[in-house]
Amino acid sequence: MSQLFGPRRRNRRIRSALFILGLPALILVAYFGFLKDDGTTQEEVASEEIVIEEINEEVIDESEVIDNSPTGILTRDYKWMTQSEDTRQLQELLGAEADGWYGAGTRTAHIAALEEAGLLTTGVPTMPSGCEIIIGAELCGVTQLEDANTALDLLRTGLGDPDEEVDFNDENNWSSGGATSEPVLTIYWGAVYADFGNCYSPFRQCFKGWGIDNSFYAIRGWDKMFPGLVKLPESLLVDWDPNNSELAPLVTSTNIPGGPRLMPERWSFEEEIGSVMQYDEENDRHVFKTNLYQVIFTESTGNPPGSAEKQLRWQFFGCSETNWCLP
Protein backbone atom coordinates (compact mmCIF):
# COMPACT_ATOMS: atom_id res chain seq x y z
CA MET A 1 0.00 0.00 0.00
CA SER A 2 2.79 2.35 0.79
CA GLN A 3 4.16 1.76 -2.64
CA LEU A 4 0.80 2.50 -4.22
CA PHE A 5 -0.07 5.66 -2.24
CA GLY A 6 3.39 7.01 -1.30
CA PRO A 7 4.06 8.96 -4.56
CA ARG A 8 0.58 10.39 -4.56
CA ARG A 9 1.02 11.76 -1.06
CA ARG A 10 4.34 13.31 -2.04
CA ASN A 11 2.70 14.96 -5.10
CA ARG A 12 -0.07 16.28 -2.89
CA ARG A 13 2.51 17.78 -0.50
CA ILE A 14 4.36 19.40 -3.41
CA ARG A 15 1.15 20.91 -4.80
CA SER A 16 0.26 22.26 -1.36
CA ALA A 17 3.71 23.84 -0.98
CA LEU A 18 3.52 25.42 -4.42
CA PHE A 19 0.07 26.78 -3.63
CA ILE A 20 1.23 28.27 -0.35
CA LEU A 21 4.28 29.91 -2.00
CA GLY A 22 2.54 30.98 -5.20
CA LEU A 23 -0.51 32.68 -3.72
CA PRO A 24 1.41 35.53 -2.01
CA ALA A 25 3.54 35.98 -5.13
CA LEU A 26 0.41 36.22 -7.25
CA ILE A 27 -1.05 38.81 -4.89
CA LEU A 28 2.14 40.91 -5.07
CA VAL A 29 2.21 40.75 -8.87
CA ALA A 30 -1.42 41.80 -9.05
CA TYR A 31 -0.85 44.69 -6.62
CA PHE A 32 2.23 46.11 -8.34
CA GLY A 33 0.62 45.61 -11.70
CA PHE A 34 -2.16 47.88 -10.53
CA LEU A 35 0.34 50.62 -9.77
CA LYS A 36 1.76 52.82 -12.54
CA ASP A 37 5.48 53.38 -13.07
CA ASP A 38 5.46 56.61 -11.01
CA GLY A 39 3.90 54.91 -8.02
CA THR A 40 0.43 56.43 -8.46
CA THR A 41 -2.75 54.50 -8.81
CA GLN A 42 -5.20 54.84 -11.67
CA GLU A 43 -7.63 56.51 -9.26
CA GLU A 44 -4.98 59.13 -8.32
CA VAL A 45 -4.19 59.83 -12.01
CA ALA A 46 -7.86 60.27 -12.78
CA SER A 47 -8.19 62.64 -9.83
CA GLU A 48 -5.19 64.71 -11.05
CA GLU A 49 -6.68 64.92 -14.55
CA ILE A 50 -9.93 66.27 -13.11
CA VAL A 51 -8.02 68.93 -11.10
CA ILE A 52 -6.02 70.00 -14.21
CA GLU A 53 -9.19 70.27 -16.25
CA GLU A 54 -10.78 72.43 -13.53
CA ILE A 55 -7.71 74.76 -13.47
CA ASN A 56 -7.74 75.07 -17.28
CA GLU A 57 -11.43 75.91 -17.19
CA GLU A 58 -10.74 78.66 -14.62
CA VAL A 59 -8.01 80.21 -16.82
CA ILE A 60 -10.28 80.20 -19.83
CA ASP A 61 -13.02 81.83 -17.80
CA GLU A 62 -10.64 84.63 -16.69
CA SER A 63 -9.52 85.35 -20.25
CA GLU A 64 -13.13 85.69 -21.36
CA VAL A 65 -13.70 88.49 -18.81
CA ILE A 66 -11.84 91.09 -20.98
CA ASP A 67 -14.34 93.72 -22.08
CA ASN A 68 -13.64 94.90 -25.63
CA SER A 69 -16.77 97.00 -25.86
CA PRO A 70 -16.39 100.78 -26.37
CA THR A 71 -17.16 101.33 -22.68
CA GLY A 72 -14.67 98.67 -21.64
CA ILE A 73 -11.92 100.19 -23.79
CA LEU A 74 -12.60 103.73 -22.54
CA THR A 75 -12.57 102.77 -18.86
CA ARG A 76 -9.33 100.76 -18.83
CA ASP A 77 -6.32 101.98 -16.84
CA TYR A 78 -3.67 103.56 -19.08
CA LYS A 79 -0.09 104.65 -18.43
CA TRP A 80 1.49 107.90 -19.56
CA MET A 81 4.01 107.71 -22.42
CA THR A 82 3.72 103.91 -22.64
CA GLN A 83 3.04 101.93 -25.81
CA SER A 84 0.49 99.12 -25.54
CA GLU A 85 -2.15 97.21 -27.47
CA ASP A 86 -4.81 98.68 -25.16
CA THR A 87 -3.78 102.20 -26.17
CA ARG A 88 -3.84 101.21 -29.83
CA GLN A 89 -7.43 99.97 -29.45
CA LEU A 90 -8.34 103.18 -27.64
CA GLN A 91 -6.88 105.33 -30.44
CA GLU A 92 -8.78 103.35 -33.07
CA LEU A 93 -11.97 103.89 -31.08
CA LEU A 94 -11.23 107.63 -30.85
CA GLY A 95 -10.46 107.85 -34.57
CA ALA A 96 -6.89 108.95 -33.89
CA GLU A 97 -3.62 107.71 -35.33
CA ALA A 98 -3.17 104.26 -33.78
CA ASP A 99 0.53 104.23 -32.89
CA GLY A 100 -0.04 102.74 -29.42
CA TRP A 101 1.58 105.63 -27.53
CA TYR A 102 -0.42 107.35 -24.80
CA GLY A 103 0.58 111.01 -24.98
CA ALA A 104 -1.00 114.44 -24.64
CA GLY A 105 -3.17 114.17 -27.78
CA THR A 106 -4.56 110.77 -26.85
CA ARG A 107 -5.22 111.95 -23.30
CA THR A 108 -7.21 114.99 -24.44
CA ALA A 109 -9.38 112.92 -26.82
CA HIS A 110 -9.77 110.20 -24.17
CA ILE A 111 -11.09 112.62 -21.55
CA ALA A 112 -13.51 114.18 -24.06
CA ALA A 113 -14.90 110.75 -25.00
CA LEU A 114 -15.34 109.74 -21.35
CA GLU A 115 -17.14 112.97 -20.47
CA GLU A 116 -19.39 112.67 -23.52
CA ALA A 117 -20.33 109.12 -22.48
CA GLY A 118 -20.89 110.15 -18.87
CA LEU A 119 -18.08 107.89 -17.61
CA LEU A 120 -15.53 108.46 -14.85
CA THR A 121 -11.98 109.49 -15.77
CA THR A 122 -10.31 107.28 -13.19
CA GLY A 123 -8.36 105.33 -15.84
CA VAL A 124 -6.82 108.45 -17.39
CA PRO A 125 -3.13 108.80 -16.41
CA THR A 126 -2.02 112.01 -14.74
CA MET A 127 0.04 114.29 -16.95
CA PRO A 128 3.42 115.00 -15.32
CA SER A 129 3.31 118.22 -13.34
CA GLY A 130 5.75 120.34 -11.37
CA CYS A 131 7.96 123.30 -12.17
CA GLU A 132 8.68 124.00 -15.82
CA ILE A 133 11.32 121.64 -17.21
CA ILE A 134 12.93 123.16 -20.30
CA ILE A 135 16.23 121.65 -21.40
CA GLY A 136 19.00 124.24 -21.30
CA ALA A 137 17.02 126.67 -19.12
CA GLU A 138 17.01 127.21 -15.37
CA LEU A 139 15.35 124.41 -13.43
CA CYS A 140 12.72 125.68 -11.00
CA GLY A 141 14.42 129.07 -11.02
CA VAL A 142 17.73 127.74 -9.69
CA THR A 143 20.74 129.55 -11.12
CA GLN A 144 24.17 128.05 -11.60
CA LEU A 145 26.43 128.31 -8.50
CA GLU A 146 23.39 128.80 -6.26
CA ASP A 147 24.05 127.75 -2.67
CA ALA A 148 23.36 124.00 -2.39
CA ASN A 149 20.82 124.20 0.44
CA THR A 150 18.98 127.10 -1.18
CA ALA A 151 18.91 125.29 -4.52
CA LEU A 152 17.69 122.08 -2.91
CA ASP A 153 14.81 123.94 -1.22
CA LEU A 154 13.75 125.47 -4.55
CA LEU A 155 13.95 122.13 -6.35
CA ARG A 156 12.00 120.43 -3.59
CA THR A 157 9.28 123.06 -3.88
CA GLY A 158 9.02 122.66 -7.66
CA LEU A 159 9.62 118.92 -8.10
CA GLY A 160 8.69 117.45 -4.74
CA ASP A 161 10.86 115.29 -2.54
CA PRO A 162 13.88 113.70 -4.25
CA ASP A 163 14.18 109.95 -4.69
CA GLU A 164 16.58 109.81 -1.74
CA GLU A 165 17.37 112.30 0.99
CA VAL A 166 21.03 113.35 1.01
CA ASP A 167 23.40 114.98 3.44
CA PHE A 168 25.91 117.40 1.89
CA ASN A 169 28.19 116.88 4.87
CA ASP A 170 28.42 113.11 4.36
CA GLU A 171 31.54 112.30 2.33
CA ASN A 172 30.05 108.98 1.25
CA ASN A 173 27.49 110.84 -0.88
CA TRP A 174 30.18 112.47 -3.01
CA SER A 175 31.96 110.94 -5.99
CA SER A 176 34.45 112.05 -8.62
CA GLY A 177 32.76 113.11 -11.81
CA GLY A 178 33.67 114.41 -15.26
CA ALA A 179 37.06 115.08 -16.76
CA THR A 180 38.05 117.35 -13.87
CA SER A 181 37.54 114.62 -11.25
CA GLU A 182 36.03 117.20 -8.93
CA PRO A 183 33.76 115.87 -6.16
CA VAL A 184 30.15 115.76 -7.32
CA LEU A 185 26.93 114.93 -5.52
CA THR A 186 23.98 113.98 -7.74
CA ILE A 187 20.36 114.09 -6.56
CA TYR A 188 17.54 112.48 -8.58
CA TRP A 189 13.89 113.31 -9.04
CA GLY A 190 12.99 110.36 -11.23
CA ALA A 191 14.47 111.05 -14.68
CA VAL A 192 15.69 114.53 -13.67
CA TYR A 193 19.01 114.88 -11.89
CA ALA A 194 20.82 117.84 -10.33
CA ASP A 195 24.59 118.01 -9.81
CA PHE A 196 26.15 119.76 -6.84
CA GLY A 197 29.82 120.50 -6.23
CA ASN A 198 32.29 122.68 -4.38
CA CYS A 199 32.30 126.35 -5.30
CA TYR A 200 35.61 128.14 -4.77
CA SER A 201 35.97 126.38 -1.45
CA PRO A 202 35.66 122.81 -0.17
CA PHE A 203 33.44 124.21 2.57
CA ARG A 204 30.84 125.74 0.25
CA GLN A 205 28.66 123.52 -1.91
CA CYS A 206 26.64 124.88 -4.79
CA PHE A 207 24.39 123.90 -7.68
CA LYS A 208 26.38 122.99 -10.82
CA GLY A 209 23.77 121.95 -13.37
CA TRP A 210 21.00 119.51 -14.25
CA GLY A 211 19.83 117.15 -16.95
CA ILE A 212 17.63 114.22 -17.96
CA ASP A 213 18.74 110.58 -17.93
CA ASN A 214 16.12 107.93 -18.64
CA SER A 215 15.79 104.62 -20.47
CA PHE A 216 12.84 103.16 -22.30
CA TYR A 217 12.31 99.39 -22.35
CA ALA A 218 10.14 97.60 -24.88
CA ILE A 219 8.29 95.64 -22.20
CA ARG A 220 7.99 97.91 -19.16
CA GLY A 221 8.20 101.38 -20.71
CA TRP A 222 10.15 104.23 -19.11
CA ASP A 223 12.51 103.17 -16.33
CA LYS A 224 11.99 106.39 -14.32
CA MET A 225 9.09 108.77 -13.89
CA PHE A 226 9.24 112.30 -15.29
CA PRO A 227 8.45 114.77 -12.48
CA GLY A 228 7.07 117.22 -15.02
CA LEU A 229 6.44 117.76 -18.70
CA VAL A 230 9.84 117.93 -20.44
CA LYS A 231 10.14 120.55 -23.17
CA LEU A 232 12.84 121.59 -25.61
CA PRO A 233 13.53 125.29 -26.20
CA GLU A 234 13.33 126.72 -29.68
CA SER A 235 16.96 126.78 -30.80
CA LEU A 236 19.40 126.73 -33.72
CA LEU A 237 20.93 123.59 -35.17
CA VAL A 238 24.66 123.06 -34.70
CA ASP A 239 26.40 121.58 -37.74
CA TRP A 240 29.23 119.28 -36.72
CA ASP A 241 30.86 115.94 -37.44
CA PRO A 242 31.23 113.67 -34.38
CA ASN A 243 33.77 111.55 -36.27
CA ASN A 244 36.08 114.44 -37.20
CA SER A 245 37.35 116.48 -34.27
CA GLU A 246 39.29 118.81 -36.54
CA LEU A 247 36.10 120.39 -37.88
CA ALA A 248 34.80 123.08 -35.56
CA PRO A 249 31.03 123.02 -34.79
CA LEU A 250 29.08 125.72 -36.58
CA VAL A 251 25.80 127.26 -35.45
CA THR A 252 23.46 127.36 -38.44
CA SER A 253 20.35 129.39 -39.15
CA THR A 254 18.22 126.24 -39.16
CA ASN A 255 15.51 126.58 -36.54
CA ILE A 256 14.70 123.58 -34.32
CA PRO A 257 11.15 123.74 -32.88
CA GLY A 258 10.57 123.70 -29.16
CA GLY A 259 7.92 122.05 -27.03
CA PRO A 260 7.32 118.55 -25.64
CA ARG A 261 9.28 116.63 -28.29
CA LEU A 262 10.67 113.72 -26.25
CA MET A 263 9.73 110.34 -27.76
CA PRO A 264 10.91 106.80 -26.86
CA GLU A 265 12.04 105.82 -30.37
CA ARG A 266 14.85 107.74 -32.12
CA TRP A 267 13.00 107.94 -35.45
CA SER A 268 9.97 109.43 -33.67
CA PHE A 269 12.15 112.05 -31.98
CA GLU A 270 13.78 112.93 -35.31
CA GLU A 271 10.35 113.47 -36.84
CA GLU A 272 9.44 115.75 -33.93
CA ILE A 273 12.51 117.98 -34.29
CA GLY A 274 12.62 117.80 -38.09
CA SER A 275 16.28 116.82 -38.13
CA VAL A 276 18.50 113.72 -38.00
CA MET A 277 20.79 112.79 -35.12
CA GLN A 278 24.48 112.29 -35.95
CA TYR A 279 26.05 108.87 -35.37
CA ASP A 280 29.17 108.89 -33.19
CA GLU A 281 31.08 105.80 -34.32
CA GLU A 282 33.75 105.91 -31.60
CA ASN A 283 31.19 105.86 -28.79
CA ASP A 284 28.47 103.93 -30.65
CA ARG A 285 25.75 106.48 -30.02
CA HIS A 286 23.61 109.11 -31.77
CA VAL A 287 24.04 112.76 -30.81
CA PHE A 288 22.06 115.91 -31.58
CA LYS A 289 23.26 119.44 -30.77
CA THR A 290 21.81 122.90 -30.89
CA ASN A 291 23.14 126.15 -29.50
CA LEU A 292 21.17 125.52 -26.28
CA TYR A 293 21.20 121.79 -25.59
CA GLN A 294 22.56 118.38 -26.48
CA VAL A 295 20.82 115.00 -26.78
CA ILE A 296 22.56 111.62 -26.57
CA PHE A 297 20.76 108.44 -27.63
CA THR A 298 22.16 104.96 -27.00
CA GLU A 299 20.45 101.72 -27.99
CA SER A 300 21.12 98.33 -26.42
CA THR A 301 19.67 95.43 -28.41
CA GLY A 302 18.85 93.34 -25.36
CA ASN A 303 20.01 89.95 -24.17
CA PRO A 304 19.89 87.99 -26.38
CA PRO A 305 20.25 90.56 -29.20
CA GLY A 306 16.89 91.47 -30.65
CA SER A 307 14.96 90.49 -27.53
CA ALA A 308 12.02 92.54 -26.33
CA GLU A 309 14.06 93.93 -23.43
CA LYS A 310 16.11 96.29 -25.61
CA GLN A 311 17.08 99.53 -23.89
CA LEU A 312 16.70 102.99 -25.42
CA ARG A 313 18.65 105.47 -23.29
CA TRP A 314 18.09 109.23 -23.59
CA GLN A 315 20.26 111.96 -22.07
CA PHE A 316 19.40 115.66 -22.29
CA PHE A 317 21.36 118.59 -20.86
CA GLY A 318 21.94 122.26 -21.53
CA CYS A 319 24.94 123.69 -23.34
CA SER A 320 27.06 126.78 -23.11
CA GLU A 321 26.98 128.84 -26.29
CA THR A 322 30.77 128.92 -26.21
CA ASN A 323 31.45 125.18 -26.44
CA TRP A 324 28.13 123.56 -27.48
CA CYS A 325 28.55 120.66 -25.04
CA LEU A 326 31.86 119.52 -26.43
CA PRO A 327 33.11 116.38 -24.64
Q: Is the residue at 169 inside a domain?
A: yes
What pLDDT score was predicted for residue 1?
41
Q: Percentages helix, strand, coil for the chain, rounded to the nearest 5?
A: 35, 25, 45
Number of compact structural domains in the chain: 4
What pLDDT score was predicted for residue 204?
84
CB proximity list for 206: less than 8 A, separation 6 or greater: 145, 146, 147, 148, 151, 196, 197, 198, 199
What pLDDT score was predicted for residue 235?
95
113 and 164 in one domain? no
Among 16-25, 150-159, 239-248, the least confident range: 16-25
Strands (E), 155-292: 175-177, 182-189, 192-198, 205-217, 221-222, 230-231, 235-239, 250-256, 278-280, 285-289
58 and 7 in one domain? yes
Tens-digit pLDDT profile for residues 195-211? 998 887 767 889 999 99
308 and 280 in one domain? yes
Among 81-90, 105-114, 188-197, 203-212, the least confident range: 81-90
Q: Is the residue at 124 inside a domain?
A: no
Q: How many Å apart are CA 102 and CA 299, to the nearest integer?
A: 22
What pLDDT score was predicted for residue 4?
36
Higher-scoring residue by pLDDT: 46, 85: 85
Mean pLDDT of 122-137: 84
- Domain hosting 251: range is 232-318
89 and 38 in one domain? no
Q: Is the residue at 227 inside a domain?
A: no
Q: How many Å apart are CA 85 and CA 99, to the nearest integer?
A: 9
Among 60-69, 222-231, 249-258, the least confident range: 60-69
What pLDDT score was predicted for residue 324?
56
Mean pLDDT of 281-309: 85
Q: Is the residue at 205 inside a domain?
A: yes
Domain final residue, candidates 117, 151, 186: 117
Tens-digit pLDDT profile for residues 156-177? 888 888 888 888 877 777 777 6
Domain final residue, candidates 24, 47, 63: 63
Higher-scoring residue by pLDDT: 39, 99: 99
Q: How many Å apart are CA 49 and CA 62, to the nearest integer?
A: 20
Q: How many Å apart are CA 252 and CA 270, to the nearest integer?
A: 18
85 and 59 in one domain? no
201 and 152 in one domain? yes
The pTM of this model reads 0.62
Q: Is the residue at 20 inside a domain?
A: yes
75 and 59 in one domain? no
59 and 79 in one domain? no
Q: Is the residue at 255 inside a domain?
A: yes
Q: Is the residue at 223 inside a domain?
A: no
Q: Is the residue at 268 inside a domain?
A: yes
57 and 8 in one domain? yes
Tens-digit pLDDT profile for residues 253-289? 999 999 999 999 999 999 999 999 999 999 999 999 9
pLDDT at 222 over 80: yes
183 and 148 in one domain? yes
139 and 183 in one domain? yes
313 and 251 in one domain? yes
Tens-digit pLDDT profile for residues 23-44? 555 555 455 554 445 555 555 5
